[in-house]
Amino acid sequence: MLSMMKIADNRRVLVGPDGVPLARAGYDAVATSNRRRPPASVLRHEDQELLLERRRALVATARDVRRNYSIAAWAIRKHLDYVSTFTFHARTGDAGLNKRVEQFVRG
pLDDT in 10s for each residue of the chain, 107 residues: 556 656 556 666 667 777 766 655 555 566 666 776 666 777 778 777 788 888 898 899 989 988 889 889 999 999 988 887 678 889 999 999 999 999 999 88
- Same domain, residue pair 28 and 2: yes
Residue 13 pLDDT: 66
Q: Is 92 left (phi over 0), alpha (psi -120 to 50) or beta?
A: alpha
pLDDT of residue 91: 94
Residues 64 and 106 in one domain: yes
Beta-bridge mates of residue 14: 4
Instruction: Supply the pLDDT for residue 42.
Output: 76
> What's the CA gap between 13 and 6, in Å, rounded?
6
Provide the domain count of the chain.
2
Tell me which residue range forms the domain holding 78.
Answer: 51-107
Q: How many CA atoms, within 13 angstroms, populate the side-chain half-sphere of residue 33?
A: 8
Q: 102: Cβ–Cβ under 8 A, 6 or more apart, which residues?
A: 88, 89, 90
Phi, psi values for residue 80, rounded to 5°: -65, -30
If asked whether residues 79 and 104 sit together in one domain, one would say: yes
